[in-house]
């Protein structure tokens, strides 16, 4: 490949093109405001998603901090009064939405936002922006809103007060059909129709309960202390703490530092499986480990506080293991030696199932960041080189084959531009 500087310069131009292509704007009658946001893709994913927005902001922070700030502010317009941040905002005035929009929202003829959330990454995006553009007014505007959301999660999703936040739908993890959730649903087979049903039946029950979190968690049919979500929650709380410190709010700064420490401590202590020497998400009130190796099992690498034996075991025994995660184009979302590992795209005639093997740029972003935090620069660079190769050959696709690097599904996919942040 051509030299890195030229590659990066070209990449910025390509990223600008992706974001321009995926921009939607107009006047929202329900919100009574003009809106402008970057969608994950030009087709199908034409709404504003929570964690996609955070990733877009991280990338934008490198060349357009004003646009990055506006992405975050636009998303925060969709915040509910109680602090909740939905996973999708349906801007625009289209009367009919896709079927999932109804199921994942409170009962309504035309929902404006869903009633489930996604990994709370926005504070991390805000910190990326602030590092390049130290605008305290921006912090004063957005931090209280993000803090409100973090408190909402603690109040509504942490019944046992271990500061591990529970998710109530696979989609709240952002990794919709990750095999972890079929363990939770109790179906370990591979039949696409039955799998789909296993994943979606909890959502239907949630809809039936009109997304009443108390009832849903009490009934315990889908109650998962999920690793990726909680690692993001911990590190985003740390970002909040540092940012509150910047604007002189010591009380909030120490509150969020404590929150981060507690969540991190719970992840490292409770989710570690002594037998398999890896982390697993926990489900139900009984906190059972979902014993399947996926990318989420490696996500604690992203935690500031992962040290010692658990850190080295995670890297040496799992990440660098060719039977698990060290494929030619790492890091696959499911370990190679799991029966649920499918490196290819779902065939067109089949029900779409995501996150069952392919390598995604956004999950790689967490792994690379984590490796660098802990001083594993060489391994991080090896992963980034492979990502450059995939993007160079196939463009910003939604995901890639971990065996061949082949890109799949949507083109000009928003968060695949995260590569820029790693160069
Ligand atoms: C898919 C992904 C989800 C993402 C959304 C928009 O549903 O699983 O994580 O936010 O697409 O990109």
Q: Where are the domains of the chain?
A: 4-422
52 Cα nearest atom in ligand 1: 10
Residues of the chain short of pLDDT 50, as ranges, are none
How confident is the model at residue 262, as a pLDDT? 98
Q: What's the CA-to-centroid distance between 55 and ligand 1, angstroms?
A: 12
415 Cα nearest atom in ligand 1: 12
Classify residue 32 by burial, with Cβ atoms within 10 Å: 0-12, 13-18, 19+.
exposed
Q: What's the CA-to-centroid distance between 48 and ligand 1, angstroms?
A: 10
CA-based nearest residue to 167, from 204, 121, 209, 115: 115
Q: What's the CA-to-centroid distance between 274 and ligand 1, angstroms?
A: 32
362 Cα nearest atom in ligand 1: 9
* Beta bridge pairs of residue 166: 225
How confident is the model at residue 328, as a pLDDT? 98
Got the DSSP string for 338-401? Answer: STT---SPPPTTSPP--SSS-B-HHHHHHHHHHHHHTT-HHHHHHHHHHHHHHHHHH-S-SEE-
For ligand 1, which residues put their CB under 6 angstroms from it? Answer: 40, 45, 49, 51-52, 174, 176, 354
Please state the pTM of the whole predicted model: 0.97
Specify the residue with its C-alpha closest to ligand 1, atom 11: 45
41 Cα nearest atom in ligand 1: 12
Terminal-residue alpha carbon distance, the chain: 14
How confident is the model at residue 83, as a pLDDT? 98
Classify residue 377 by burial, with Cβ atoms within 10 Å: 0-12, 13-18, 19+.
exposed
| Three-state secondary structure of 14-71 | HHHHHHHHCEEEEEECCCCEEEEEECCCCCCCCCEEHHHHHHHHHHHCCCCHHHHHHH
Give the H/E segment covering residue 240. Answer: helix 227-246
The C-alpha atoms of residue 352 and residue 398 are separated, in whole angstroms, by 13
Reduced to 3 states (helix: H, G, I; strand: E, B; else coil), residue 197 is helix
Give the H/E segment covering residue 84. Answer: none
Determine the residue of 37, 43, 49, 203 to mutate for testing ligand 1's pocket, defined as the one with the most ligand atoms within 8 A of the Cβ atom.
49
How confident is the model at residue 2, as a pLDDT? 60
Sequence-separated (6 or more) residues with CB below 8 Å from residue 46: 24, 39
Determine the residue of 24, 42, 45 to mutate for testing ligand 1's pocket, defined as the one with the most ligand atoms within 8 A of the Cβ atom.
45
Sign for the pseudo-dihedral over CA of 316, 239, 112, 71: negative
Domain boundaries 4-422, corresponding CATH code: 1.50.10.10
């Amino acid at each position: 490949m051509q030299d890195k500087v030229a590659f990066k310069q070209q990449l910025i131009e390509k990223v600008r093109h992706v974001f321009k292509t995926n921009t939607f704007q107009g006047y929202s009658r329900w919100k009574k405001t003009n809106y402008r946001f970057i969608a994950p893709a030009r087709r199908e994913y034409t709404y504003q998603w929570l964690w996609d927005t955070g990733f877009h902001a991280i990338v934008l922070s490198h060349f357009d901090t004003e646009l990055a700030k506006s992405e975050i502010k636009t998303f925060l317009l969709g915040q509910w009064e109680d602090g909740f941040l939905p996973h999708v905002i349906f801007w625009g005035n289209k009367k009919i939405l896709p079927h999932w929009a109804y199921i994942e929202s409170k009962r309504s003829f035309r929902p404006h936002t869903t009633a489930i959330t996604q990994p709370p990454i926005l504070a991390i995006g805000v910190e990326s922006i602030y590092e390049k553009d130290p605008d305290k007014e921006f912090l004063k505007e957005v931090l209280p809103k993000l803090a409100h959301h973090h408190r909402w999660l603690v109040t509504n999703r942490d019944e046992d007060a271990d500061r591990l936040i529970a998710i109530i739908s696979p989609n709240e993890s952002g990794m919709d059909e990750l095999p972890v959730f079929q363990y939770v649903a109790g179906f370990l087979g591979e039949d696409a129709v039955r799998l789909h049903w296993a994943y979606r039946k909890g959502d239907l029950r949630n809809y039936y309960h009109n997304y009443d979190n108390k009832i849903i968690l009490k009934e315990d049919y889908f109650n998962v202390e999920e690793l990726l979500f909680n690692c993001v929650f911990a590190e985003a709380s740390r970002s909040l703490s540092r940012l509150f410190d910047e604007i002189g709010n010591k009380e909030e700064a120490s509150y969020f530092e404590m929150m981060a420490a507690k969540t991190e401590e719970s992840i490292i202590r409770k989710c570690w499986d002594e037998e398999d020497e890896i982390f697993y998400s926990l489900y139900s009130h009984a906190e059972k480990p979902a014993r399947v190796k996926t990318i989420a099992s490696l996500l604690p690498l992203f935690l500031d506080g992962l040290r010692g034996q658990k850190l080295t075991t995670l890297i040496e025994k799992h990440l660098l293991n060719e039977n698990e995660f060290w494929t030619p184009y790492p890091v696959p979302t499911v370990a190679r030696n799991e029966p649920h590992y499918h490196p290819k795209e779902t065939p067109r005639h089949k029900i779409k199932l995501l996150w069952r093997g392919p390598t995604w740029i956004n999950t790689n972003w967490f792994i690379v960041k984590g490796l660098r935090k802990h001083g594993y620069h060489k391994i991080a660079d090896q992963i980034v080189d492979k990502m450059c190769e995939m993007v160079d050959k196939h463009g910003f696709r939604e995901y890639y084959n971990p065996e061949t690097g082949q890109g799949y599904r949507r083109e000009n996919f928003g968060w695949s531009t995260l590569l820029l942040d790693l160069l």
